[in-house]
Amino acid sequence: MQVIILAAGQGKRMRSRLPKVLQPIAAKAMLRHVIDTARQLDPRRICVVYGHGGDQVRAAISDADLAWAEQAQQLGTGHAVAQAMPQIDDKGVALILYGDVPLTRVETLKDLVAATDGGRVGLLTVHMDDPKGYGRIIRSADGAVQAIVEEKDASPEQRKITEVNTGILCVPVAQLRNWLSRLSNNNAQGEYYLTDIIAMAVSDDVVVEARQPAAVWETLGVNNKLQLAELERIHQRNIANALMENGVTVIDPARIDVRGELSCEPDVEIDVGCVFEGKVTLGENVKIGAHCVLRNVSVAAGTRIAPFSHLDDSSVGANCIIGPYARLRPGTTLAEDVHIGNFVEIKNSNVAAHSKANHLAYVGDADVGSKVNIGAGVITVNYDGVNKYRTTIGDNAFVGSDSQLIAPVTVGKGATVAAGTTLTADAPADELTIARARQTTVPGWKRPVKK
């Protein structure tokens, strides 16, 4: 089996400089969705027919194993498929898909391919309450598919038909090549319709086997930003449904966005407005508060992430408490039972078990030991304007509020750094270190008065 993906349309109604097939669903180009689905069918070849914005399309989808065919002139779907035929061999069948129809399920396509057994043509159709704009399926008295009539060429009686063509079909390649050579553009659009091969197949005594998807949304294409948004919500609701079927509590399935791969163990709870990007793994009984953003993050069992926290390229251990309004930046690793509180930022740092930074702190390029307390307003000063330096804080250390640790510096095991200290040299283990100006009161001093 080989796959031809038609992706040459201009998409004027998108009103965007980005080619239509590169418009995103769940942060992934629609064309990429179609290619990823096609790969699951294990085809011998995938050929993408491109046209408008071709340089952008080929730059964005640069997979080495794809074949490409250019449709320089937009002369219809039949003409588009014909451009791909030099890349397609005559063995087996060709499955024809569309770069702007991103949500077709693999199971539906497998069923369609199976319908071609015995040299038949497999045609995906769907029943619509409002079929306006779609080609109608013409059947004989015994129910056999006879032809597809485009709406502009249909009679008033034919327009009443609710079974419509989705454009997706699977055809024996040798016959497809023959039928394409016989297409005519003698129609209302002046185009070479791929749909005309259905009547040719019937004329050549080839059975056309119709199949239907489980849901209409599998066949919906995108022509404008409104339709793009509608498919986005359908896709996200499908993801939410799958999560809930696997034991995840999604507080509102209409308010979740997964823009990558989200893997959850049982009893995970996700509140409203959360966004998951890249690869995110959530362990058993993890709770994600409202309006959190997680990107390329693993979170171990029992951890609670409070609302409005952002975690990026980080690893969080079991039974931690993060947030609210916390930020974990790339390179952060937290061990078990770590507390990172409101308006605390951790970057490129390792924090060992049972340590905490509960208020308004910045920990960057640091290695923090176990059972460390980092007070409010503490800053690891890691950057001199040119280079980054690391800070080391030993087990059981206590860093008082509003202290600055000027890296590279080490706070020894069990050390206490007094509040307000600016630490420029190592603080010895098990000792109190203070580095601040002596408090002075100036007798008789008066605050200036505006003249």
Residues tagged active-site: 359
Which residues, 6 or more positions from 307, have their beta carbon under 8 angstroms from its beta carbon?
Answer: 271, 289, 290, 291, 292, 323, 324, 325
- Calculate Rg over the CA atoms of the chain: 31
Amino acid at 146: Q
Q: What are phi and psi for residue 213, nearest 5 degrees? A: -80, 170
User: Do the Cβ atoms of 80 and 17 come closer than 8 Å?
Assistant: no
Structure tokens at 256: 């979740």
Long-range contact pairs involving 237-243 (C-beta distance under 8 Å, separation at least 24): 238/103, 239/26, 243/270
Query: Coil, strand or helix: which one is 232?
Result: helix
Yes or no: say if 363 and 341 are a contact pair by the CB < 8 Å rule. Answer: no
The DSSP annotation for 60-109 comes to HS--TT-EEEE--S---HHHHHHHHGGGS-SSSEEEEEETT-TT--HHHH
Going edge to edge, which strands form the sheet with 356-359?
Answer: 249-250, 269-270, 287-288, 304-305, 321-322, 339-342, 356-359, 373-374, 398-399, 416-417, 432-433
List of residues 6+ apart from 79 with CB closer than 8 A: 71, 73, 183, 191, 192
- Helix (H) or strand (E) holding 181, with range, is helix 173-181
Residue 326: which region, alpha, beta or left (left: phi > 0; alpha: psi -120 to 50)? Answer: beta
Classified as helix, coil or strand, 390 is coil
CA–CA separation, 381 and 278 (whole Å): 30
Contact 173, 92 (CB under 8 A): yes
Token pair belonging to 429: 């283990």
Q: Can you tell me the distance from the alpha carbon of 124 to that of 213, in angstroms, rounded to the nearest whole number?
A: 7
